[in-house]
Structure 1
Amino acid sequence: MHNMLLSHAMAVDLYRKLYQAKQGGQIGIIPFVFMYEPLRDEECDIQAVNRALAFYVCWVLDPLVFGEHPQDMRHILGDQLTRFSPEEKDLVKGSLDFIGINHYSTLYVKDCTFEACPLGGDRPILGFLNITGMRDGIPIGDPTAVARFFVVPRGMEKTVNYLKIRYHNMPMFITENEIRGYTKYVFRTYLAALLRAIREGADVRGYFEWTLMDNFEWLNGYNTLFGLLLCGWRDT
C-alpha cells in the first residue's frame, strides 16, 4: 500500500505538471468499499466498525487527503505501519482530484480485542475485529451467489455520507455497483439510497454499473453472473 500510494502520487504530480492544464483531466483513486455495521449494540462493536473502515478504506484515502495513515491503524500497529518522509508526505498529500467508490454490500463487525471470535467460520482479521454477513443466523440482506455480497441498499447512502464527512465532501463517483440476480432491484434501491445522499449534499458526480457485459470474474471465471447483458456462450 505504501508503494502504491507513492506511485499514485508520482503519477499525479507528473500529470499535473505536464498535461493537466492542456488536457483538463483529473486523477482519482478507487478503494473497494464495504460499509460496516456493529454486530451488537455495544460500544466495542461500534468502535470496531471505525477500525474496519480505517483498515480497509481510510488506509488508502487518508494519506492522499491528509498526508497521514489513520490514527486507528497507527494506534494498533505502531511502528509496523510505514511512515512517509517529509518529502513523501508533501508529494502524497493532496494528490487526489476525486474519490471513486466500488460499493456492493454491507457487513457486520464484531470486536475481537480481547478474544478470538470466529463467526460462521470467518477468521479474525486486521484491527482486532471479525467481519460476517450473519447475525443470529439471519443474513444482513438478501444473500447472493457471491460470498459476502448481500443486498443492503442502505449501505450505499452510509458509504457516501461517511466519505463526504471524512474527506470534506470531495467529488465522488460510484465506479462499481451491481449484484447479479438483483439487477433491477439493486438499481431501484441503491440508486434511491444514493439520491438521498446527494440530496443531503454529497458531491457525487457520476454512477457506473458493473458491468455492461457478463465478464470473466476473477477466480470464478464465467460461473458468477455479472453484467447487464449475458453472453451466449454460457452453459444453460
Structure 2
Amino acid sequence: MLGSRLPSFSAEDRRKLGYRLDFIGVNHYTTLYAKDCMFSVCPVGQETQNAMVAVTGERNGHPIGLRASAMPTFYVVPDGIEKMVTYIMKRYNNVPMFITENGGDGYTNVEDWLDDQWRIQYLDGYLTKLAKVISFIINMTTIKPGRDGADVRGYFVWSLLDNFEWLYGYTLRFGLYYVDYETQERKPKSSVKCYRGFLQSGLYES
C-alpha cells in the first residue's frame, strides 16, 4: 500500500536497527473499535490514513465505554490499557515499557475543572488495570513480583499542568493542576490529592 513512500535503508541503517530496543514508550488515552476496509470503502470521516481501517466508538448502537462530553471520540475503557500492555509484552518479548501519556478531560463546564471527579474515576480505572499486568510493583520500601508479568517501568499522567493541546488548543483541561491563563495562577485539582495518595500508599501492591 505504501510503495515508494517507504524509506530505503542502507546496510548501515539495517545494522543500527538490529540492536535491541532500550524501551517502548506508549501514549494511551482511549479505545475504539476497528473495522478492516482494505477491500471496501471506509465510512466517510472514519478512515485512518494508510492503515485501511475504520474506527468508531460504537457497535450496534452501544458505546464501547463511558463517553467524555468534552471530546466526542473519547471513551473511558480501562480494559484497553491492560490489553495494549499485554499485547506489547507478548509481541516484543517483554521489552521494558513506559506509559508516557495517559489521561483525559471529561468536562465542558468551567465549574467542574477544579473538582475533577471524572478524572479521578478515569485514573482509578486505568491504574487498576495497569497494576494487574505489571511484573513488579514499587512502593516506598519493597519491590515484588506482580500478577501477569509485563515489565512496565514507569507511568506518566497527562499532564501535570493545563496546557495547549494540538487539536483542542486551550479549550480542554488535561492537567492535574488548573492554570488560569490570564494570571498564570496554578491550583491543584481534586485529582491531585487522590493521585498523591495512590503514589504514597502502595495502593495497588496486593
Q: TM-score, normalised by structure 1?
A: 0.61
Q: CA deviation at 1:146?
A: 2.5
The counterpart of 2:59, out of the listed 121, 130, 135, is 135
The counterpart of 2:18, out of the listed 87, 93, 103, is 93
Distance in 2 of aligned mates of 1:233 and 1:124: 34
Aligned to 2:37: 112
Q: CA deviation at 1:129?
A: 1.6
The answer to whether the Cα contact below 8 Å between 2:21 and 2:95 also exists between their aligned partners in 1 is no
Q: CA deviation at 1:112?
A: 1.0
Q: Which runs of 5+ in 2 are unaligned?
A: 107-117, 135-146, 183-206
Aligned counterparts, 1:184-223, within 5 A: 184-198=120-134, 199-223=147-171
Aligned to 1:152: 77
Q: Secondary structure at the match of 1:208?
A: strand
The answer to whether the Cα contact below 8 Å between 1:116 and 1:124 also exists between their aligned partners in 2 is no
> Does the C-alpha gap of structure 1 residues 217 and 90 become closer, same or farther in structure 2, counting only changes over 3 Å?
same
Whichever residue aligns with residue 151 of structure 1, its letter is V
Distance in 2 of aligned mates of 1:132 and 1:229: 31
Q: Secondary structure at the match of 2:16?
A: helix
> Does the C-alpha gap of structure 1 residues 175 and 127 become closer, same or farther in structure 2, counting only changes over 3 Å?
closer
Distance in 2 of aligned mates of 1:214 and 1:110: 34
Distance in 2 of aligned mates of 1:100 and 1:207: 10
Q: Does residue 113 of structure 2 align to residue 165 of structure 1?
A: no
Q: Pairwise CA RMSD of aligned residues?
A: 2.0
Q: CA deviation at 1:92?
A: 2.2
> Does the C-alpha gap of structure 1 residues 118 and 209 become closer, same or farther in structure 2, counting only changes over 3 Å?
same
More strand by share: 2
Q: Which runs of 4+ in 1 moved over 6 A?
A: none
Which deviations, in whole Å up to 9, do the C-alpha atoms of 1:169-198 show, x marking residues without a partner? 011111110112331112111011101111
Q: TM-score, normalised by structure 2?
A: 0.69
Q: Which runs of 5+ in 1 are unaligned?
A: 1-75
Query: Matched residues, percent identical?
Result: 49
Distance in 2 of aligned mates of 1:116 and 1:125: 13
Aligned to 2:6: 81
Aligned to 1:230: 178
> Does the C-alpha gap of structure 1 residues 81 and 180 become closer, same or farther in structure 2, counting only changes over 3 Å?
same
Count matched residues: 158
- Structure 1 stretch displaced more, 183-192 or 225-234: 225-234
Q: Secondary structure at the match of 1:126?
A: helix
The answer to whether the Cα contact below 8 Å between 1:142 and 1:150 also exists between their aligned partners in 2 is yes
Distance in 2 of aligned mates of 1:158 and 1:124: 21
More helix by share: 1
Q: Secondary structure at the match of 1:158?
A: helix
Aligned to 1:69: none
